[in-house]
Chains A and B, each alone.
Chain A
Amino acid sequence: MAAGGFLDRVWRLGPLLAGATAVLLLVTGVLIVYSGEESYRREKIDEVEVEARILASTVIAALTFDDRNAAQTYVGALDVNPEIEAAAVYDANGQPFAIYRRAEALSVPAPAPDLGSSYGDDRITVTTPVTQGVSLPLGRVYVRAVLEPLSRRYERYGVIALLVVMAGLVTAVLAIAQSTLSRSNRELSQANRRAGSADRRARKGGGGLAPGAKDGGDRPDDRPRRARFQQHPAGCPRQP
């Protein structure tokens, strides 16, 4: 009996649980998208930092021996990566030593920016030192990369969003169906109670079944109740 009561309570809480599930799915979807964005950005920063460090280690000799042509060759090699928008090698005084720009309109900062990485305006910038050995500073390397356009990034999350919406729809439909069934059950239960009490009253008043009722006929006081049942949209089984 206790288990039945618990199930009844759960059944009554069905719409609420379904709504909570839909909200949870939505929040989960948003968190997945946010987490994906964060990891994508972190991954891209790592990639650009690696490129900058490789360039920094490559231009050591060029900076040491003041060979701008060699430095220009090395920095120009970044052209193979379409995400790199601009890059520069700076000498120890912070002045540009070699510059790469994917388009003429682009520019690089001068003097050399502070060391570190930053993110903004769909671009990642990394500035890393160029050192000989452990401590001899030779200059800096600056690399700026463009992230994928926001629209293209969101396309990747489209599948997740679709799944979340579909799961939400299924949950909503189930919630509505459950709510409708609950209401019907309630009404049936009330009707049943009313019929039971009417039957008891009839037994008390008439002392038995009316003629013809024994062989399946209607009792006189059954007619209005039956008519009421027939009006009910969900229908109702004949009372015994």
Chain B
Amino acid sequence: MPGRRAAVRRQAAWAAVLPFLLCPAATWAQDGSLELAIKATYLVKFAAFVEWPANMFETPSSPLTICLVGTPFSGVADQAAAGQAAGQHPLAVRHVAAATHGSGCHILFSAGAPGQSIAEALDAVRGEPVLTVTDLPAATPRKGIIDFVLQSGHVRFEIDDRAAAQEGLRISSQLLALAINVTPR
């Protein structure tokens, strides 16, 4: 029965995310809320293409935590992550007021919060194997390891593989191949 419930949850989560994947991205991007929904979905999907050091997990089936600081995603990320897993790690979304060192986050998305800017959030987890994700303008000097970019109406992303390597993360070549710009390690 627990297995059946998990399967139902997985199907429900997939059903929630599927429409976003099936609609043309160009159409989504015309609407700000849909664009955010895509980014939230992508944020969850990044987990499957990144390897963390084994010591970042207590057990092989410990959850992979996605922390959101000041997120505008309003629950879409929670829906997208429900019932999903990266390898053996079930995904868990945690909304936090501010990023802190040693908080147990594996992925951190910061949109800035009243008490903590995006740069401060990035600084807070520096030196930790945390995949930082941001959605900043191109000219911004400090960005996360992955930064969302809107290109021709499609949501795409840039990857700083060098920063990922410095933090002990290994990003899949498949994900790197999709990035519109990669900073090599």
Residues of A within 8 A of B (CB): 58, 60-62, 64-67, 70, 91-93, 132-133, 135-136
A-B contact pairs, 30 of them (CB 8 A): A58-B174, A60-B174, A61-B172, A61-B174, A61-B178, A62-B178, A64-B21, A64-B45, A64-B48, A65-B45, A65-B175, A65-B178, A66-B21, A66-B38, A66-B154, A67-B156, A67-B178, A70-B178, A91-B21, A91-B22, A92-B18, A92-B21, A93-B18, A93-B22, A132-B48, A133-B48, A133-B86, A133-B87, A135-B10, A136-B14
Q: For the A-B complex with A66-B38, A132-B48, A135-B10 known, give 16 more contacts whose Cβ atoms are closer than 8 Å.
A: A58-B174, A60-B174, A61-B49, A61-B178, A62-B178, A64-B21, A65-B42, A66-B21, A66-B154, A67-B156, A70-B177, A91-B22, A93-B22, A133-B87, A136-B14, A136-B84
Cβ of B178: which chain A residues have Cβ within 8 Å of it?
61-62, 65, 67, 70
Take A61-B177, A66-B25 as given contacts and tell me if A133 and B85 are in contact as well, using a CB distance cutoff of 8 Å: yes
Question: What is the predominant secondary structure among interface residues of chain A facing chain B?
Answer: mixed
Interface residues of B in 1-46 (CB under 8 A from A): 10, 14, 18, 21-22, 25, 38, 42, 45
Cβ of B14: which chain A residues have Cβ within 8 Å of it?
136
Cα distance A200–B25 when bound, in Å? 117
Task: Pick the contact of B22: A60, A65, A92, A133 (CB < 8 A).
Answer: A92
Cβ of A136: which chain B residues have Cβ within 8 Å of it?
10, 14, 84
Cα distance A64–B156 when bound, in Å? 12
B175 engages A61 (CB within 8 Å): yes
User: Which 6 A-B pairs have CB atoms at the shortest separation, nearest pair first?
Assistant: A61-B174, A67-B178, A64-B45, A66-B25, A93-B22, A61-B178
* Count of A-B contacts judged by CB separation below 8 Å: 41
Residues of B within 8 A of A (CB): 10, 14, 18, 21-22, 25, 38, 42, 45, 48-49, 84-87, 154, 156, 172, 174-175, 177-178
Cβ of B10: which chain A residues have Cβ within 8 Å of it?
135-136
Cα distance A133–B48 when bound, in Å? 8
Cβ of A93: which chain B residues have Cβ within 8 Å of it?
18, 22
The smallest C-beta distance from A23 to any residue of chain B, in angstroms, reads 59
- Closest residue of chain B to A73, judged by CB? B177
Cα distance A233–B88 when bound, in Å? 94
Cα distance A91–B177 when bound, in Å? 19
- Closest residue of chain B to A61, judged by CB? B174
